[in-house]
Amino acid sequence: MRIRTKMTFALAIAGSMLLGGCPKGSPKSSANVSEEALAADPGANFQMGTAALQPDRKGVVDYDSAYSYFAKAAQLGGGAKAHFNAGWVSEQLGKVAQAGEHYKAAFEADNAYTPALFSFTRVAKAQGNAAAAIPLFEAALAASPENEELRTEFMDALVAAGQYDLAIEQGRAVLLKNPKNPDVYRILSSLYLESGDTAMADMMGQLALERQDADANLLNNQGVLLLKEDDTSAAIEKFNEARKLDPQHFEANMNLGLIALNSGDYGLALECVDAAIATNPSSTDAQLARAVALRGTGETTEAAKLYDRLLKEYPDLDEAYFNAATLYEKYLKDFTKALKYLESYKSARGEALSPSDPVHGRIEAVAQAKAEEEERKRIEAERKRQEEERRQRALAVLKELGTTADNMTAKLQANAQCLPEEVSMEISMLLESVYESVNNEETDMAADLQQMLNDYYGPMLEQALADNCGAGAPAEDEMAEGEAVEGETAETAETGETAEGETAETAEGEAPEAETTDEQTAEATPAE
């Protein structure tokens, strides 16, 4: 999309339509129009069309019904205004080509009806076909050669059509009658901007300013000149000044909107292009810019709908095919849909498609991106599968870890009286961490914790049990007199006899050689 330099005349179409002398009507009064009248009376249809343009309680306008009534009124001979209103409603419905046909029919019905000519020119320029308006202007000027506004509008249309020499001729004709006409200098400024002569463009702009202090069109042109000098900040100021003077100024809104798009400020871009579309619904540049802005704000569904509507209305609109393909490829990752738009582009051109057309390269690039994305998804799926396998293995380790921890906890509780406190505390602290990991399914530390239990804390507990919790002989004060220990006959000090008939030595000062109670302590398996 290029920077906009030309002035577009946006008429107050709805207002002029309702004040055009035809019955305004209302939903209640229009309900009384008979079917017979609608079948034969253009005025009745015009009345119903006007009533349909009144918003309902939710603020919704029934443009489809309004168009049907105005088109019927035009068909029944309703004249220029019926066609004009049908054209305006068509624009609101996004049917620009249809709008152009109605505007042209309105002017042909009445060559003095300049609003229809100006609207047709605006639509033709928006479609890149400003030359289509030239014969209509010639007919209008033949009928009204002294009409200065008509001639300056013709000059503007010639600039849009690239017919600069003819535009300059029209400008000279106006200046001969009115040397102070600022519109001529402003249009000449646009003309020189289009042709690349920035010095002359600046000169014409200054001449226009000498004749008109505040003008949104001139401010817009100054902004374009500043952009060509790479002074974007100053250009933005000029565009904003133009918008302050005329909030609906098409070119200033478009230029600022394009700058916002390039800088990534999609919210501002959407605001500007919406204002531009309100002025000129027929502009495909504005609609395409809006789709990009919607894409940038994340409203991809709305952007896709807009592309589809544009392509339905303009099957030859190259940029819509490529932009839609970009939307689906880069943002929605729907490569099949992206390829579909590019193939539709090829089909729309048929045999006229050149072997060097950029669509071929785009198709290859999208196909490659599709293959890469599919491979990325395959790798990602495999990674997730392996990750899930690792998770399941870790969960199994956690389960085993929990079992090990339960066994150690049981041993600690069963031997709490004999285990050293420092051993119990150290092992208990670790077991708390183990249970926390098990309960929270923290798989990352499961293997390490299991190894710590198996290699360090498990053996620590077993050693502590062996060292401190053995089942030895009871202490002497717990033994009853004459009680046998593990089947042996108790020693009798009075008789000096030992078990199994052996006589103990009782020499004075000598004691029987016997192992102490501690030495006789038998190792016992610790309680579990």
Residues with Cβ within 8 Å of 270's Cβ and at least 6 positions away in sequence, in order, are 257, 290, 293, 294, 297
Averaged pLDDT for residues 483-504: 43
Per cent of the chain over pLDDT 70 is 83
pLDDT, residue 3, reads 44
Report if residue 523 sits inside a domain: no
Considering the domain architecture, whether residues 105 and 132 belong to the same structural domain is answered as no
pLDDT (average), residues 14-23: 30
pLDDT, mean over the chain: 82
Domain boundary among 468, 493, 514: 468
Do 111 and 6 lie in one domain? The reply is: yes
Domain assignment present for residue 197? The answer is: yes
Q: Which amino acid is at 265?
A: D
| Residue 327: DSSP 8-state | I
Interval 343-358 mean pLDDT: 91
Q: 399 and 462: one domain?
A: yes
What total of structural domains would you count in the chain? Answer: 3
CA distance 55 to 69: 16
Asked whether residue 25 falls in the same domain as residue 117, the answer is yes
CA dihedral 463, 465, 469, 471 (to 10 degrees): -90
What domain range is 414 assigned to? Answer: 363-468
* Of 503 and 255, the one with more pLDDT: 255
pLDDT score, position 28 = 41
Tell me the one-letter amino acid at 52.
A
The predicted-structure confidence for 215-267, as pLDDT tens digits, reads as follows 888 888 889 888 888 999 999 999 999 999 999 999 999 999 999 999 999 99
Q: Is 476 inside any structural domain?
A: no
Dist CA 41 CA 50 (whole Å):
15
Residue 33 or 167, more confident: 167
Residues 84 and 183 occupy one common structural domain: no
Domain presence at residue 514: no
Residue 9 has pLDDT above 60, yes or no: no
Whether the per-residue pLDDT at 366 is higher than 90: the answer is yes
CA 238/CA 262 separation, integer angstroms = 18
Asked if 406 and 453 count as a contact pair (C-beta separation under 8 A), the reply is no
Domain end point (choices 420, 439, 468): 468
Q: Span 502-508, mean pLDDT?
A: 43
User: Residue 112: is its pLDDT beyond 80?
Assistant: yes
Considering the domain boundaries, does residue 20 fall inside one? yes
Using alpha carbons, select from 120, 36, 111, 41 the residue that is nearest to residue 74. Answer: 41
3-state secondary structure of 432: helix
147 and 112 within one domain: no
Residue 183 lies inside a defined structural domain of this protein: yes
Q: Are residues 449 and 368 in the same domain?
A: yes
Is 12 contained in some domain? Answer: yes
User: CATH code at 71?
Assistant: 1.25.40.10
Confidence of residue 32 (pLDDT cuts 50, 70, 90): low
* Final residue in a domain of this structure, among 127, 146, 178: 127
**∠ at Cα 93 (90, 97), nearest 5°?**
50
* 93 lies in the same domain as 147: no
**145 pLDDT more than 50:** yes
DSSP state of 329: I
What DSSP assignment string belongs to 436-486?
Answer: HHHHTT-GGGHHHHHHHIIIIIHHHHHHHHHHH----PPPGGGSPTT--BT
Q: Which residues pair with 488 in a beta bridge?
A: 485
Are 464 and 411 members of one domain?
A: yes
Residue 296 confidence (pLDDT): 94
Contact between 274 and 262 (Cβ < 8 Å): no
Strand partners, 497: 503
Q: What pLDDT is recorded for position 391?
A: 82
pLDDT tens digit string along 399-433? Answer: 888 998 999 999 999 999 999 999 999 999 989 98
Both 145 and 113 in one domain: the answer is no
Q: Are residues 153 and 119 in the same domain?
A: no
Rounded CA gap, 1 and 4, in Å? Answer: 9
Other CB atoms within 10 Å distance of the CB of residue 170: 24
> Is the pLDDT score of 322 beyond 70?
yes
CA dihedral for 258, 263, 264, 265, sign (positive or negative): negative
pLDDT in tens, 283-310: 889 999 999 999 999 999 999 999 999 9
In a domain, 306, yes or no: no
Tell me, yes or no, whether 91 and 177 share the same domain: no
| Average pLDDT estimate for 10-22 | 30
pLDDT of the residue at 502: 45
